[in-house]
Structure 1
Amino acid sequence: MEKVTKIVLIGTGFVGSSYAFAVVNQGLANELVLIDINKKKAEGDAMDLNHALPFGSPMRIWAGDYSDCKDADLVVITAGANQQPGETRLDLVDKNAKIFKSIVSEVMKSGFVGLFLVATNPVDILSYATWKYSGLPAHRVIGSGTILDTARLRYLLSKAYKVNPQNVHAYIIGEHGDSELPVWSHATLGVRPISDYLKEGKGPTQDELDQIFINVRDAAYHIIDRKGATYYGIAMAMARLTRAILNDENSVLTVSTLLNGEYGLKDIYIGVPAIVNRSGIREVVELNLNEQELEKLHHSAEVLTQIMKKVF
């Protein structure tokens, strides 16, 4: 008999329900459990998603409770207070750290031995919190990090250079937030460095590339201003991460993970490229950053460290 893959989703708000839909749409698991403080909302989502099953892959979907985490492969946390217009992701830290303490302890009480996937903001700090509260090895607690920022960058570069976004290789690293940075020194189209295009005067100028980055960094603010929340992009990013984990892909994705000396940083969760597989984070991919990029990454880490001091 084939092994059952089971995902427990905690939080069925905009992000959670969009992620659940992506899981069903892509047939990523055999079982999907929805947990929410508003039990009726979780039940409604489970009913709605079950009605989609005749159009997709077979799956068991139900509204459950923390005891369902016991044999889950993956517990995905999207629960927490949302970013309001004018709020930064870091403004959410106090509210959400308290919520996470109770969620993670409930999950661990079930006997859970799988992987945590965290999407709630500020994601770097809450991933660190999940690691601390759970007592699990750090490679089994993964934050969505800068996976969405990286996707936004690749999308905008693909428009600027008129190439498929899947052929754009460029990373955003650092905090998932205002202090993140683009790694222009390693940005390529196919295998050709963007710096070559700049030298030849083809495509965007450096000023235009800088503006593309600003649009990436501030994308959430623009979306929140227009529709109140961002959820489709992050839901697809989380589905991508889920696939990489459950299919043991060894894919390189920019996730929030614990650094142990890489980039000269320690005891911090921050967005960097890492190899992701069934056991979680196999290893951090340490890029050879230029001096300016390394300085910006250290500044980003310092921003997170100052906030973390208030929580831990």
Structure 2
Amino acid sequence: MNTSDTVEKCMRHITPHVESTETKITVVGIGAVGMGAVSALLTQEISKNIVLLDMDGRKVAGEVLDLQHATPFLSNSQVSGGTDYSLSRNSKICVVTAGVRQQEGESRLNLVQRNVEVFKKIIPPLAENSPNCILVIVSNPCDILTYVAWKLSGFPQERVFGSGCDLDSARFRVLLAQKFGIAANSVHGNIIGEHGDSSVAVWSGVNIAGLFIKDIHPQMGLDNDPEKFIDVHKAVVQGAYDVIKLKGYTSWAIGYAIAHICRDILDNVYAIHMLSVNVKGFYDIKDDVFLSLPTVLASRGIHEIILLTLSEEEVKKIQESAKILWDVQKDIVF
């Protein structure tokens, strides 16, 4: 007696099997960041259908098999994957973490151009198989590669954005919370601009229970601040470098950040994230540059972008951020 005979004796099929795609998420790139995201998505029960894609067929097969063995502990979520982009068909969200790393002595533009070549193999097949999906770009340099993904996909701006400064803002809140001795989710403060060295700390918006710290400590964030709050922002910028120096890569924090973004899309809760979006027309920026601003997320992607009231110095810094990125971005060859 073969297995099919046994199955037929055990149950009677009434309707054909239908793949559930309402929460289907494809993760491209199964390095530390990609698998950190997959772990968070599964353990928090954000998606019941996760697809892993990677050019390393052997490794992705191993990760899929390992995760499938864990599904009894994960509400029986469906996990599949491989190298074939048709597996991503009808995804609600496609998260891209794949990319090449900067080599010693390599210019930023050369790194970007090499990643453009990688994205040419990733973005078009994702867009073809899931023409209505939302693209979340995590690969670095995040802001420029979000622009690249937008251009290659042909998607409207509301359906292409980067994880941007969402994690930077979380680090900011953690460090501020440690300084004040309270819980991180009780401190409010944002990092905007580039996901990188030219990011901008919005000191004017840092508050605890509606108490704006700048009102009682005007020197906050300035070079002449005796309490050295500026060191908090420096630590935010340095944060990823510190983690990489200690363990070789980042994974958990960015994984949870990605999962948080995906959950708020799927749940359609209109939550605010610091995401890398097209800022042309904001703060007198005239180019198609992607930088992080407070972004309202819903089931169709970007719903609104919050118009922050920034100080003159903060506006100047975000404009400088845009110029730094455009100087690299303008020479990209598609």
> Who is 2:144 aligned against?
125
- How far is 1:159 from its partner? 0.4
Aligned with residue 255 of structure 1, among 254, 257, 275: 275
Against the structure 1 CA distance between its residues 90 and 256, is the aligned structure 2 distance closer, same or farther, given a 3 Å change threshold? Answer: farther
**5+ long unaligned stretches in structure 1:** none
Name 2:159's counterpart in structure 1.
140
TM-score by length of 2: 0.87
1:16 maps to what in 2? 34
Matched, 1:269 2:290: yes
Partner of 2:95: 76
SS at match of 1:238: helix
Q: State whether residues 70 and 113 of structure 1, in contact with CA within 8 Å, keep that contact through their aligned partners in structure 2.
A: no
Give yes or no for contact 1:90–1:122 (8 Å, CA) kept in 2.
Answer: no
Aligned to 2:46: 28
Distance in 1 of aligned mates of 2:226 and 2:168:
19
Q: CA deviation at 1:207?
A: 4.7
* Structure 1 runs of 4+ with >6 Å offset: 84-91
Aligned match for 2:315, one of 271, 294, 307: 294
Instruction: Measure, in 1, the Cα distance between the counterparts of 2:152 and 2:254.
Output: 24
CA–CA distance in 2 between the matches of 1:113 and 1:97?
22
Change (3 A) 1:83 1:164: farther
Once the two structures are TM-superposed, the CA of residue 112 in structure 1 deviates from its matched residue by 2.7
Structure 2 Cα separation of the partners of residues 164 and 299 of structure 1: 33
- Aligned residues between the structures: 309
User: More deviation in 205-214 or 89-98?
Assistant: 89-98
Does residue 183 (structure 1) correspond to residue 202 (structure 2)? The answer is yes
Give the drift of 1:310.
1.9
Q: Deviations over 1:198-217 (max 9, x none)?
A: 2699xxx5652101110101
Choose from 202, 216, 221 the match for 2:241. Answer: 221
Q: SS of the residue aligned with 1:52?
A: helix
**After the TM superposition, which of the residue ranges 255-264 and 237-246 deviates more from structure 2?**
255-264
Q: 1:151-177: CA deviations, max 9, x gaps?
A: 000000000001111111101011101
Deviation at residue 93 of structure 1 after TM alignment: 1.4
Q: 1:191 to 1:85 in 2, by over 3 A?
A: farther
CA contact (8 A) 1:85 1:225 kept: no
In structure 1, the partner of 2:8 is none
Structure 1 residues 112-146: Cα deviation after superposition (integer angstroms, max 9, x where no partner):
32110110000001111111000000100010010
Change (3 A) 1:206 1:195: farther
Structure 2 segments unaligned to the other structure (5+ residues): 1-17
Aligned AA for 2:40? A
Which structure has the larger Rg over C-alpha atoms?
2
Change (3 A) 1:51 1:185: same
2:125 alignment counterpart: 106
Task: With the length of structure 1 as denominator, give the TM-score of the two structures.
Answer: 0.93
- 3-state SS in 2 of match to 1:116: strand
Q: Report the CA distance between 1:279 and its aligned residue.
A: 0.6
